[in-house]
Structure 1
Amino acid sequence: MTQLIDQNFLQEHNTKQESALTSDYNALAEKLDRSGFNIDSILAQAKQFAVAVPSWGVGTGGTRFARFPGKGEPRNIFEKLDDCSVIQQLSQATPTVSLHIPWDKPKDPNELRQYAEQYDLRFDAMNSNTFQDQIGQEESYKFGSLAHSSKAARDQAIAHNIEVVELGEKLGSKALTVWVGDGSNFPGQQHFKNSFTHYLESIKEIYNSLPDDWNMLLEHKIFEPAFYSTVIQDWGSSYLAAKETGERCLSLVDLGHHAPNVNIEMIVSRLAQFGKLGGFHFNDSKYGDDDLDSGSINPYQLFLIFNELTDIRSQDTTYNPFYMLDQSHNVTDPIESLMYSAAEVQRAFVKSLLVDREALTNHQNTNDAMMAQATLKQAYNLDIEPILQMARLQEGGAISPVACYRASQYRQTCDKNRPADPNKTGSGIV
């Protein structure tokens, strides 16, 4: 397997910290044992956790007004995979890549798949793009795509999604994620019922083209670019559309696509209860769809979401939703942010494994609100960093991914090998 950061350098970096990690891990093992948890069992589950990296995420994102490119940015999908391989090598939690088409449409899918395989990377859910016009397309998406009042525009959007599915088959993907910016900015601009009907007809046609072992994930968003109404604006609309479409059509939850202070963990429970929770796009937000690093603003919410997911999985061990990071890195090195975020999502997952579920159930059944929330906080307040570090070490990753990455000077090497074209951006972000 090809590795872009020298493994000897990585091992030397780990060696300096391994003794302290062993001590911290043993101390945590004793503490967890007193609460009835076996640390090695928790470690094994931590090592199995994985979240996909978005191909567009390794480039510098943009604000609503400008984009400020970083040094050594990837200029094409192959260089993006190089960066994704470094994230996986150091974090050991991101073995899959989610592509956005046509931003990252390869000329030769087999060549791209072989390129990924040298890094032991696989392709996660495919993402279609009908929220912006592409060069050469006949119909504009200015006023919508799958829900457009024009059948010609809808047919074009449907054809694009089917093309993305066909490409995904060649790459080994098993899911299509559909997000549209369709909606309206003024009262009366759009007929609510007709637009939703058009959307349902469109996704049903796409769904019918799916291979038998594929899922379709419908992503909702409360606003932007449609600020008065959005066709799929909340989890209810997403659920209705998924239910109307078919068994393998599911809802996808992006943590930034909700009104402020919405109880996302309860949405997770509701969708799962009725078999329609298909996956997540992890990020964080303060005001809206900020696309900030996961866990950077509200790590407790992230933990509460995983608390629900762990409870769901305890009842159905086969449950396996799609996980992906979906962030815009405007002021940080994207590789650092994605490694940090992967660890934060993994941290929330591990902490959720340490909730005393028997005690929590008893407190819920006896309406002991104080002790119920205290039971959750007991797990959340645990410092489980030694488990994450040990998982990375045993899987061949870095005990301290960001520090190791900086010491390797990978970004500086990219800056020399990837001369920027001032007229283009390889980030896939507008």
Structure 2
Amino acid sequence: MTQRIDKAFIAEENAKLAGFLKEDYEALGNQLARDDINIEDITAKAEQFQIAVPSWGTGTGGTRFARFPGEGEPRNIWEKLEDSAVINDLSQCTERVSPHFPWDKVDDFTELKQTSDSLNLKWDSINSNTFQDQPGQAHSFKYGSLSNTRAESRDLAIQHNLDCIEWGKALGSKTLTVWVGDGSNHPGQQHFQSAFERYLDSMKQIYAGLPSDWELHIEHKMFEPAFYSTIIQDWGSNILAAMELGPQAKSLVDLGHHAPNVNIEMIVSRLIQFKKLGGFHFNDSKYGDDDLDSGSLHPYQQFLIFNELVDAQYRNQEGFGPNYMLDQSHNVTDPIESLMNSAASVQRSYVAALIVDRKKLSGYQQDNDALMASNTLKKAFTTDVSPILEMARFNRGGAIDPIAVYRASGYRAQAGRERPNSGGNGSGIV
């Protein structure tokens, strides 16, 4: 087992920055106080914020053309948990891990749960995989899974999702996320309505297997691997399916799964309004489903999404309580560093949204004062809330500067020695 970063070492590194943090925190506190904002209240909320790490995100990603293995990348779920524990030890906002089955399937789920408990980690949404065939699979998903024209393939996909529920129950999860790559690549290849009907029929059988305190999250994606049509192509098809299934079915929003220039924050508002927002996969994109680090290209859009989320929280919106998770592919960076960076980026958007003056914003909206309404949002967005994030980590025993502490610890080099590169990919994904 790769040795975790010692808490004493984190404390030593923090001691070098604690004086500067105190100065910056007091300065920001004075700045916020001018607008009657108590920095301690905001920091307390920042400390409570949590976003799940995807198990597959701890490994090196790849493209359709090549994959360049990273040093010491995890080869199985046990090593993914080791890396996830380090991420949480330093960031203190990633205490949950989202597994993907069958990539993360083990023989003894009791042992897996005991291991996660020992690392102070919890389990988030269970992700099923029917978008690729597994070794020895009897019936192929090449032409779809839950919507396949062949009942044998559909039955196999349904059973896999029911199995995921059972595995999730053993781990203490309460959510199943279903994404399928079903669709078509040629006009005329598929009868749209019949395919959707088959999908809904399959999902109803999965929905019937949900415990009463679980949710089923439906994930949509505009394209890939089906490039002409996709069964759950957009939020419209997503919410229609969720409404057809029942109150435990909700829509999941992946930021990279939309058409270019779509107003994602308005979609979020609509889903909140109709109590159908299940959760998020946070990432960023330039062209499509790029799975780039969160906030690396469009931090203002990410902030605007959180403006809607915090607004719902502010108004005590009924049925509001989405899951937050990162979903990224790290091809040229250390996955641990990227996941810590992204977690902080998402947390930053949340904190910035907390300091929006909602009474003023509402007044400007009522008066149709477009400029001042926009400026109210921009004021919060452009405020550097870094001291709040740093203090939140410090208060919880994390690192003031997670990436600096991680690099100084030598954890990656140690992992490289203990996890020889086999040329394979323990993350499961290409």
TM tier, smaller:
over 0.9
1:313, 1:131 → 2: CA distance?
Answer: 35
What is the aligned partner in structure 2 of residue 352 from structure 1? 353
What is the aligned partner in structure 1 of residue 153 from structure 2? 153
What is the aligned partner in structure 2 of residue 111 from structure 1? 111
Deviation, structure 1 residue 109: 0.2
What is the aligned partner in structure 1 of residue 428 from structure 2? 428
SS at match of 2:100: coil
1:333, 1:49 → 2: CA distance?
Answer: 24
- The answer to whether the Cα contact below 8 Å between 1:392 and 1:399 also exists between their aligned partners in 2 is yes
Larger deviation: 135-144 or 292-301?
135-144
> Map of 1:24-423 to 2, 5 A cutoff?
24-316=24-316, 319-422=320-423
Deviation, structure 1 residue 7: 1.0
SS at match of 1:302: helix
2:155, 2:313 → 1: CA distance?
Answer: 39
- The answer to whether the Cα contact below 8 Å between 1:389 and 1:399 also exists between their aligned partners in 2 is yes
Q: Which amino acid aligns with 1:316?
A: N
1:389, 1:140 → 2: CA distance?
Answer: 49
Q: Deviations over 1:212-240 (max 9, x none)?
A: 11000000000000110001000000000
1:342, 1:64 → 2: CA distance?
Answer: 27
- The answer to whether the Cα contact below 8 Å between 1:3 and 1:89 also exists between their aligned partners in 2 is no
- The answer to whether the Cα contact below 8 Å between 2:275 and 2:320 also exists between their aligned partners in 1 is no
RMSD over aligned CA atoms reads: 1.0
Q: Which amino acid aligns with 1:230?
A: T
SS at match of 1:280: strand
Q: Deviations over 1:311-341 (max 9, x none)?
A: 1111226722111000000000000000000
- The answer to whether the Cα contact below 8 Å between 1:3 and 1:119 also exists between their aligned partners in 2 is no
Q: Which amino acid aligns with 1:395?
A: R
2:90, 2:320 → 1: CA distance?
Answer: 27
SS at match of 2:141: coil
- The answer to whether the Cα contact below 8 Å between 1:101 and 1:127 also exists between their aligned partners in 2 is yes
1:122, 1:355 → 2: CA distance?
Answer: 31
1:215, 1:326 → 2: CA distance?
Answer: 19
1:109, 1:67 → 2: CA distance?
Answer: 30
SS at match of 2:347: helix
1:62, 1:106 → 2: CA distance?
Answer: 25
1:201, 1:315 → 2: CA distance?
Answer: 36
With over 3 angstroms needed to count, the CA separation of the structure-2 counterparts of 1:413 and 1:3, relative to structure 1, is closer
Q: Deviations over 1:142-171 (max 9, x none)?
A: 110001111111111000000000000001
Deviation, structure 1 residue 3: 7.6
Q: Report the TM-score when normalising by structure 2.
A: 0.98
Deviation, structure 1 residue 398: 0.2
Deviation, structure 1 residue 12: 0.5
Structure 2 gaps, min length 5: none
1:295, 1:36 → 2: CA distance?
Answer: 28
- The answer to whether the Cα contact below 8 Å between 1:295 and 1:344 also exists between their aligned partners in 2 is yes
1:428, 1:300 → 2: CA distance?
Answer: 32
- Figure out how many residues of one structure are paired with residues of the other and give that number: 428
SS at match of 1:292: coil
Q: Which amino acid aligns with 1:426?
A: G
Structure 1 gaps, min length 5: none
2:386, 2:294 → 1: CA distance?
Answer: 16
- The answer to whether the Cα contact below 8 Å between 1:57 and 1:326 also exists between their aligned partners in 2 is yes
Q: Which amino acid aligns with 1:92?
A: Q
1:363, 1:308 → 2: CA distance?
Answer: 16
Deviation, structure 1 residue 107: 1.2
Deviation, structure 1 residue 8: 1.0
